[in-house]
Chain A
Amino acid sequence: MDLGEFEADNSVSCRLVSEIPQICRTEDCCLGIDEAGRGPVLGPMVYGICYCPVSKKEELKDLKVADSKTLTEAERENLFQKLDEARSFVGWALQILSPNTISTSMLQRAKYNLNSLSHDAAIGLVQYALDSGVQLKEVFVDTVGPAEKYQEKLSQRFPGLEVTVRPKADSLFPIVSAASICAKVARDHAVKGWNFMEDLGDVDTDYGSGYPNDPKTKAWLLKYLDPVFGYPQFVRFSWSTAQTLLDGKAATVHWDDDEEDGEKAAARQNNKSMLSYFSRAAGGNDQSSTHQTHRFFTERRLHSLDAL
Chain B
Amino acid sequence: MATKKKHTPNTQNDSWVVIAADSAIDTQKHDSGPAFVKLRNPSTDSASLYMLGSDVQLYEVKAFKEDFHSWFIGQTVQRDGRLLYITPVDPLFLILPYLMKSGKEGKFQRLDQVVMDEEFPACSRLLSCTRSLASLHHIAEEKEVGGQKFHRYSQERTMDWLKKKVERTVTALKKSNVSVGEGVKSATYVRVKQDSDANEEDYLRYAHGLISEYISGDLSKALLGHLQLPELTSPKETEPPSKKRKLSDKPVEAGEDYTKFNSADFARKPPKKMTAAQKTLAKVDKTGMKTMASFFSPKVKTENK
Residues of A within 8 A of B (CB): 228, 240, 243, 247, 252, 254-256, 258-262, 265, 268-269, 277, 281, 289, 291, 293-308
Q: Is B63's CB under 8 angstroms from A305's CB?
A: yes
Q: Are A295 and B212 interface neighbours, CB within 8 A?
A: no
Q: Size class of B's contact patch?
A: 35 or more
Bound-state Cα–Cα, A277 to B210, Å = 33
**Is B127 located at the chain interface by the 8 A CB criterion?**
no
The verdict on B237 contacting chain A, using a C-beta distance below 8 Å, is yes
B284 at the interface (CB under 8 A from A): no
- In the assembled complex, B36 has its CB within 8 A of some CB on chain A: yes
Is B62's CB under 8 angstroms from A302's CB? yes
B68 touches A254 (CB 8 A): yes
The answer, yes or no, to whether B297 is at the interface (CB within 8 Å) is no
Contacts of B62 in A (CB 8 A): 297, 302-305
**A293→B62 CA distance, assembly (Å):** 12
Instruction: Tell whether, in the assembled complex, residue B49 and residue A261 are in contact, meaning their CB atoms are under 8 Å apart.
Output: no
A307 touches B271 (CB 8 A): no
The main secondary structure of chain A at its interface with chain B is loop
The 9 closest A-B pairs by CB, nearest first: A305-B49, A256-B68, A294-B209, A306-B47, A302-B62, A304-B48, A301-B66, A291-B44, A303-B63
Cross-chain contact B64 with A302 (CB below 8 angstroms): yes
Q: Could you tell me the distance between the alpha carbons of A129 and B270 in the complex, rounded to whole angstroms?
A: 50
Q: Provide the residues of chain A in CB contact with B48, threshold 8 Å.
A: 304-306
Q: How far is the CA of A261 from the CA of B41 in the complex (A)?
A: 37
**Which residue of B7, B38, B63, B209 contacts A295 across the interface (Cβ within 8 Å)?**
B209
B226 within 8 A of A: no
Docked-complex contact B5 and A252, CB < 8 angstroms: yes
Q: Interface readout for B1-33 with A: 1 if CB under 8 Å, 0 if not? A: 101011100000100100000000000000000
Mark B176-190 against chain A: 1 for CB-CB distance below 8 A, else 0: 001000000100001
Asked if residues A304 and B41 are in contact (CB atoms below 8 Å), the reply is: yes
The residues in B between 232 and 254 inclusive whose CB is less than 8 angstroms from any CB of A are 237, 239, 242
